[in-house]
Structure formats: structure tokens, C-alpha cells
A and B are shown apart, each in its own frame.
Chain A
Amino acid sequence: MELRHILEILWRRRWTAIILFLAIFLTIVVGSLLITPWYDSTAKVLLRKSSASSSILSSIGLQSGASTMQTISDTDRADYLALAAVRPVAEKVVADLKVTRERTRARIMRAVPLLKPFLRLIGVNVESIEEAMKADDLLDSSVLSMIFPRPHVEIDQYEETDIIEIEATSPDPVQAAALANKMAEAFVVDELKRVREDYKGVSKFIEANIERTRAEYQNALKELKDYKEKEQTVSLDTETTNLLQRISDYRKQMSDNNVAIFKDRASISKAESQLSAIPKYQKTSEQMKDNEMVLSLKITLRDLYLSLAESQTKYTGEHPAVIDIRNKINESKDLLDKELKKIFGSETVGIDPVYQDLSVKLAGYYVDLASLESQNQALPVVLKKYERDLMTLPRKSAEYAQIQLSVNVTQDIYNSMLKYRYQMGMAESMAVSSIYLIEPAIVPDKSDSKHRHPDLFLNTIIAIVLGAPFGMGAALLMEYLNDSVSTSDDVKAVKHLTFLGSVFMLKKKEPKLINEADPRSPLRESLRTIRNSIRFATTDKPPKSIVVTSSVQDEGKSFFVSNLAIQAATEGKKVLLIDGDMRRPGLNIYFNVPKTIGLTNFLVGDADINSIRLDSGVEGLSIIPTGPIPPDPARLVESKKMHQLIKDMEEAYDLVIIDSPPILAASDAVIFGRSADGVIMLIESGKAKKKHIADIMELLSKAGINVIGAALNKVSTGRHSYYYYYQQYK
């Protein structure tokens, strides 16, 4: 479709487009004006895991391999917003600020007059217009919260940063700011509490161990002192010193492992409790314990650590045998990791990022735990071997070595415990210091369109952007849907179809036939024009026989042929009108002719032509009515006798007009058309479909039938009164 064509349609249907545009435009603009405005206010909270605290935590083995991320990751933040108990925070805010909102009922009562007394009558408590808000309402951002504005809080990550944005909206700007600030404050308090909680468990463990190791260390020192007093000097050879050093190292490693195991267990129980807070993930931790593959991998791992320790007693760290075992350990760890992830993966939980992140972490904790536990199972075996070696020393040396060893070990453990405690304190204070309110919410200005909603200017633009295409679309759709022929232009648009003229819709009391109508009536004028059009449409010689048909039934065909015949007769022509519609004959409505005798009597052979040619009552016009309706009209229409009748009548009359059934109802018109000089289509304005007319034209031209043209019937006079025009003649 050309652009010009589209523009034409839009122009023609501009009122549809304009009305729809205005409907959308006014709805949005008036809606924006009527709706209670609401305001937004935003507070920002920084939520960061400092890299320093992370590295300290990992250096002391408190942060296991799987979670040594330097800063907080996107998934962490997603976890945070999903798991960070936003609702408990909101509950605290609701309780502290006593947030209320206007009841929907109250708004409706305000908008609809007389509703209040009615509601009171049916027992509704109309006086309670405010209601306390629940935390869920405060966090619920539905469309309703816009149509009926109420206090509302939304928490989101600020772009790609560690900043959490807390945006509060409320019909009252002061309340909006208060809500945002209160929410931010509660959020920080809650988060700090959680961080401290995380460190508390480990701190407690370390504190308890510090006391114990210090006592052990002091005891060992005392024992050494006592022994030295008793036995004078004892010197140890290099080999023994090395042996002692090795035993001491292994013992210290066991102690470190114990701390790490504690941390891992704490992490696992934390992650599992997070998972179990989401009901659909509850099964996973159970499965993790029972899996056979996991169990056997754990045993393999323990055995590997055992042989690692054993070979380390024989070889240096670079010996191929040692390297081989280390590789095997790594392989087993990988297998374990995969196996654990498989357990989580088998869950039908889709690709929920929170779940995935937690499950990866959890698998990591389990691998670490398994590795540490295996080491701690292997170490005593190795230790026992060294201790046996110790026993083979001379009694005095062995005793001294034992005491010296115990001093070394307890001192080391005590020292590292002190170091842990110091680092824990550092890490905790750093974690705490990286959570704070960085930008408090301020009370928005009532006239500031940035914080006032709805924004009339913005909505006006939206209304235009939305309304214009819808308006134009509606106009084009109307055009598309309206496929009927209604004006002379529509007829002219049909290929090879000549427009002969219009017959206007008659008023109720107007005479239906032109010989009864006023000589200057529009009806007469129309028929005169159509008659002249027929004359001019056929250049060579005027047609002697014309078939009149329509596309479908009830387009006014009988009315039209009757008037066309009368018009021709009044011009002084000798006219014969044949009612060829053997399906629904209609001429007897207009002329006083019997139903019992007519064309069919003649065609089946028992009537004489003169007995069926009747006087119409109009000078110069004779009629052949249909006669009894036959069971198979097509056979009669096709008969040679019918063809011959038309030919004979053309000789006897100036003009023969045949009323034929609608083309879409029967093919009679085509058959009549082959015998006659031409066919005229009668089209009822607004009824016949453009497509049908085009199809009919193609059908007729394929059948080699001369289509004289088309007349439009029942044309609306609404546009401007032609009666005014004709009044001039009266």
C-alpha cells in the first residue's frame, strides 16, 4: 500500500483516529490529574566486604577456598536481597513508625457521592478510614499501589556497585523520607548484628582454646624447668632435634586443622540453614550425607593423605612419589566436588541464581571439610610412627625430648591462638566498618516533578506517544474491516465496472414506483440518469435485452427493474419485463399480476406466449411473471426454449428486461446473460462486499458476458439533503 493511499485513508477516517486518540490522551492526562500524587525519597546503604578482611580471613583459614572472593559478587548481592531478611526489617519499620494508610474503602467513598450513607446502612464501618500496614504491604509493588497510592518501599542494587538503594514512596513526602531513612537504619542495624553473629561462634571457640592451650603451655614449661633442675644438662643430637621438630609441626597442623574444621562446619550449617529457609531446597543436605560415592571418596582421600604423610617421612617434597600422591589428592578433591554438585544439580530447581550460588559454596565447604578431616585422620598414624622412633632413644634423651616437644607444641599452638584472636578482632571491626548509611533520604519538594508522581508532563508525552499510533491504527483497522461497497467511488474502484448511477434510500411514505412519484422526485431523476448512462455506456447500439442481477438477496432488485422498465416505457419505448427469478419472484409486489401463471407455464410447454404476457397497467410495458415455482429452476433457465423466448421478444419489443436471481445464490444470471445483450449489477450500498463484486466481475468476464455497468441502491441521503435541492422546482 502506498503512503499516499494510507494518508488518504487516515484523512477519510480522521474522526475515528481523532476520537480514539482523544479517548486515550484524555484518559491518561485526566487520570494523572485526578489521581492522588505520591512522592519518592531514596536512602543509600553501602554493603561491602572489604578485601582486607577477606584476605585476613583466608590467611587464617577462616575463609575456605571456594569463597575467597575479594569483594562482594553479584550473586552475593542477589543472595543478599533474596535472603537478607528484608521482611523482618520492614516489620521493624512498620512497628517503629506505626505506618498506616488510607483504606481503599475510604477512597472510593470519597470519590462516589452518597456511597457512604449506603455503606453505613448495610453495616460497613465507614468511620475507620485508616488501617495499619503490614510489612508485606509495604514491600508489595503492585499496580494497585499506584492507582491507590500508599506507603511503599523498594530495595534494589544501585547500578553495578556495592550500594543498596532504598526507595520509599508515599502520598506524604515527609513520610516517604522517614520511611526510607528508617528502613536504611534498620537495615544497617540488622546487617551488623548478622556480621557479629557470624564471628561470634569462631571467637568463642578460639577463646575457649586459648585458656586451655595457655594452661598446657605453662604446665609444659614447668615440667621442663623441674626436669632441668633434677637432671642437669641433657644435650640432644641433630637427628633427635629434627624428629622433635617434625612431631611438633604435625601436631600444630592438627590443631590448625581443628580450627579450620570448626569454621567449615559453621559455614556449612549457616549455608544449610539459609537453604532450608527456602522450603523447596530442604532435601539436599540429607542427600549429601547419605551418598555412597561421597563416602567412598572421603575414605580414598583419607588414605591418600595417610600415604602422603608416610612418604614425606621418607622423601623430600619434590620426590616423584610425593608429587604423584599430591596429584591424586587433587583428583579426588575434584571428583568429590563434582559429585557434590551433581547432588545439588539433580534437584529440579532450575537456574535460580541464589540457589546455584549457595549450592556451589556448600559443595566447596564439604570438600574442604572432607579434606581436613582426612588429614586429621591420617596425621595421628604418622605421629604414632615418629613417637615410636622417639621411644627408641636412650631413656634420658627420650624423656627430655618428650618434655621439650610438649613445650614446643603447646607454645606454637598458644601463639597461633593468640594470633587468631587478634586477626578475628581486626576482621570483625573491618566488616562492621564497611556497612553504613552513605546517603540519607531527604524530604522531597512537593513541586519537584522528579520526585512527584505521576509526572503530568511525562504522562502527557506518554499519552501522545501512545494515543497517536492507536488512533491511526484504529482508522486503518476500520478501513480494513469495512470491505463493503457503499459509495460511487467504491463502484468506480472495481476494475472494468462502469458506474451507472445511484438510487437513493426512499422515505417511508414515498411511492416506490416512478410512475406514481413526483415527476421531479429524486427517484425519477436517478432512474433517468441510469437510463442515459446505459445508453452512453454502450457506444455501438443500445442493448435490446438487459439482465438485472445482484450479488446477494434483498438488494432491491425487483424494485429497481420495475422502475427501470417503467422509465424506459415513459420514454416511449415498447418494453417487456420478464421475472426470471424462479427462486424468489418479486415483481408481483409492484405490479398487479397473478402468481399462478407465467414463465414456467410457458417453458414446460402447456401455455401460449400470449397467455403469459400480461398488461402491467403502465403504458408500453408488458410483464411476464414467474408462474409456479419449479423444483429445478436452473434446468428451465438453461433450456433452449428460454433462449429462444428472449430472442423472439427482442424482435417484438424495443427493450426486454429480465429480473434474474442473485449471482451468489444461483448461476441463472450467467445463463440469462449469454442470451441477452448485457448485464446490469445492482449493488446495495453498504451491503455487498467489494471482494464479491470483484469476483463476480471476473466470473462474468470469463463467461464472456457483457457487463453494462452497476447501479448503487439505497444510497444514504444523510450527507446533505437533496430534498432541499429539489424543493426549488416545486
Chain B
Amino acid sequence: MRPSMQFFDIHTHILPGVDDGARDMGESLVIMKEAAEAGVKGVVLTPHFPYGGMDLDRVAGIFKELQEAVAARNIGITISLGAEIRFSHDLPALLSDRRLTINGMGKHALIELPPYDIPMYARDVFFRLMTTGITPVWCHPERCDEVIRDYTAVKEFVDRGVLVQINAGSLLGEYGRKVKGAVKSLVKNNLAHILASDTHRAGSIKDRLPEAFHCIEKLAGHHTAVELSFSNPSKLAS
């Protein structure tokens, strides 16, 4: 691994026991260590929201525990809190609680759209969200059927300032050939801004991020790979 390779992972499910990600503190710390070894400098913890009867106060408490544990073990990763928010027509109202935005800064929010078609009202909702000062980060659009059929559907959103986050797994073909084709088109056409792992379990982050880095390097050059892996995402959390 080249020393220059570093990452800032803004889409993870490592916060223990809050969603379908890491099940306990032990697993969380294992993943954190793996991430550090892979060259990850910072991690944003983004549990699914809404998820069952998720309580944001409880989430904040668990985050604090994890933060202390990471600091105590000298893992060398800065962690911050966010959420992967399921798209709905009332996002602007929902996001009036700034704790759901990345690092609670009220600037960026990770938004998950339905995997089949882009809802006709998505433009409208995003527009209203941006009028409240929050930039939507559209996570893994390459897994949306409509984007798979025609990746240029993303362009309209990017032109309006929406940021696009792609999954490392998509580049590695973990979601199938068509998703891989779509994500490659996005990277080649400058329609992707951020690379993230979307990690749920231990043992997956270590090789995936570097491999995805090389993929982007091949498709769009070293500079772009560095931007997507570190420069761009690190700006969102600070």
C-alpha cells in the first residue's frame, strides 16, 4: 500500500447496536482498527434513519461511548456523527433537527433515495432542503434502477449542487455487473464526488477502500482518486 493513500469515510454503519450495522462495541472497535490500517483518517457514523423507534438522544450517548473507546485505544481516527436519512417528501421538516446532518453542522446530509425510480418530487424536496442551507449528499445513486438504465439522470442533480457519494463495493462489482457499469460511468463523467465504504461488518473495509481507490485511479486518474477518497469527504466533516 502506498503511503499516499488515505481516506475519509462518511458513510458507515459502525455505531454499535443502533441499526443493522455493528452489533456491539467490540465489533465497532475491530472495524475501527481495520479502517485505521487501511489508511482511513476520519469516519462519519451514519446509522439508518428512521430505523424502528430510533431515539437520537440514545444514539448520541452511544456515540460518546465509542468516541471515548477509540480515544482510549489510540486508534488514531477522528470520528463524528451523522445519519443515512431515507428520502421522503418531508425531509426539510425532518432535518430541522440538525443532529441528523454530518457532524451536526447543519451543512450536509446523507440522503438515501429509493432503489428503483427517482421520485418525481425529489428535485422539489432537494431544492427546499437547500433553501434551508443543507446540501444533500445522494448516497450510492449507482444502485438506483433509473440511474442504471441511464446514468445521466444524476447529472441534473449534480448541476443543481447535489453531492454524489459512491460505494466502494459498487466499484468492486459487489452489487452486480450493471451497478458496476453505472458507477464507472459516474466516475468517468465527473458525476461522483465522494467515495465511502457503507461498511456494516468487520472484515470488509480493509481491502475494499484501497481496491476502490485503484479503480478510480484507473478510470479518472490519481488526482481524482485522492479527491474522492479524502479531500472532498474530509471537508464535509470539518
Contacts and interface: CB of A to CB of B under 8 A. Distances in A.
B221 interface: no
A250 interface: no
Nearest to A712: B117
B218 interface: no
Given A487-B149, A528-B88, A728-B19, A536 B115 contact: no
Interface string A355-397: 0000000000000000000000000000000000000000000
B143 A725 contact: yes
A489 B146 CA distance: 8
A49 B52 CA distance: 106
A487 B48 CA distance: 29
A489 B20 contact: no
Of A501, A535, A715, A728, most buried by chain B (CB within 10 Å of CB) is A728
B211 interface: no
Interface in B180-208: 200
Nearest to A499: B120
A350 to B, nearest CB: 62
B136 to A, nearest CB: 16
Nearest to B89: A532
B147 to A, nearest CB: 12
Contact of B116 (A504, A528, A727): A504
Nearest to A488: B117
B148 interface: yes
Interface string B83-124: 000001100000000000000000000000011110111001
Contacts, number: 65
A298 B43 CA distance: 121
B46 to A, nearest CB: 12
B41 interface: no
Contact of A729 (B48, B88, B121, B146): B48
Interface in A716-730: 719-720, 722, 725, 727-730
A719 B178 contact: yes
Interface in A516-569: 525, 528-529, 532-533, 535-537
Nearest to B13: A728
Contact of A529 (B19, B51, B114, B175): B114
Interface centre among A488, A528, A535 (most CB of B within 10 A): A488
Contacts of B150: 489
B176 A489 contact: no
Contacts of B148: 719-720
A729 B89 contact: no
B179 interface: yes
A720 B179 contact: yes
A720 B175 contact: yes
A20 interface: no
Contacts of A720: 115, 143, 145, 148, 175-176, 178-179
A169 interface: no
A500 B119 CA distance: 7
A499 B89 contact: no
A720 B173 CA distance: 13
Most chain B CB neighbours (cut-off 10 Å) among A487, A719, A730: A719
A410 interface: no
A486 to B, nearest CB: 11
Interface string B160-179: 00000000000000011011
A498 interface: yes
A535 B117 CA distance: 17
Interface string A72-110: 000000000000000000000000000000000000000
Contacts of A536: 89, 120-121, 124
Contacts of B52: 729
Contacts of A533: 119-121
Given A532-B88, A535-B89, A730-B20, A725 B115 contact: yes
A411 interface: no
B172 to A, nearest CB: 15
Contacts of A489: 146, 149-150
Contacts of B88: 528, 532
B116 A722 contact: yes
A502 interface: yes
Nearest to B121: A536
A110 to B, nearest CB: 43
Nearest to B52: A729
A722 B176 CA distance: 13
Contacts of A729: 19-20, 48, 51-52
A502 B89 contact: no
Contacts of B149: 487, 489
B59 to A, nearest CB: 16
Contacts of B179: 720
Contacts of A728: 13, 19-20, 48, 200
Nearest to A722: B115
Contacts of A488: 116-117, 145-146
A729 B84 CA distance: 11
Nearest to A489: B149
Contact of B117 (A498, A501, A537, A730): A501
Contacts of A725: 115, 143
Given A529-B114, A532-B88, A729-B20, A719 B145 contact: yes
Most B CB atoms within 10 A — which of A498, A504, A525, A536? A536
Contacts of B13: 728
A709 B117 CA distance: 15
A498 B89 contact: no
A536 B175 CA distance: 32
Contacts of B175: 720
A536 B118 CA distance: 14
A499 B143 contact: no
11 contacts: A488-B116, A488-B117, A488-B145, A488-B146, A529-B114, A536-B89, A719-B148, A722-B115, A722-B116, A725-B115, A728-B48
Ranked nearest first, the 8 interchain pairs of A and B with the lowest CB-CB distance are A536-B121, A532-B89, A488-B117, A725-B115, A728-B20, A722-B115, A533-B120, A529-B119
Given A488-B117, A725-B143, A729-B48, 19 more contacts: A488-B146, A489-B149, A499-B120, A500-B120, A528-B88, A529-B114, A529-B119, A532-B89, A532-B119, A533-B120, A535-B121, A715-B116, A720-B143, A720-B145, A720-B148, A725-B115, A728-B48, A728-B200, A730-B20
Interface of A: 487-489, 498-502, 504, 525, 528-529, 532-533, 535-537, 709, 715, 719-720, 722, 725, 727-730
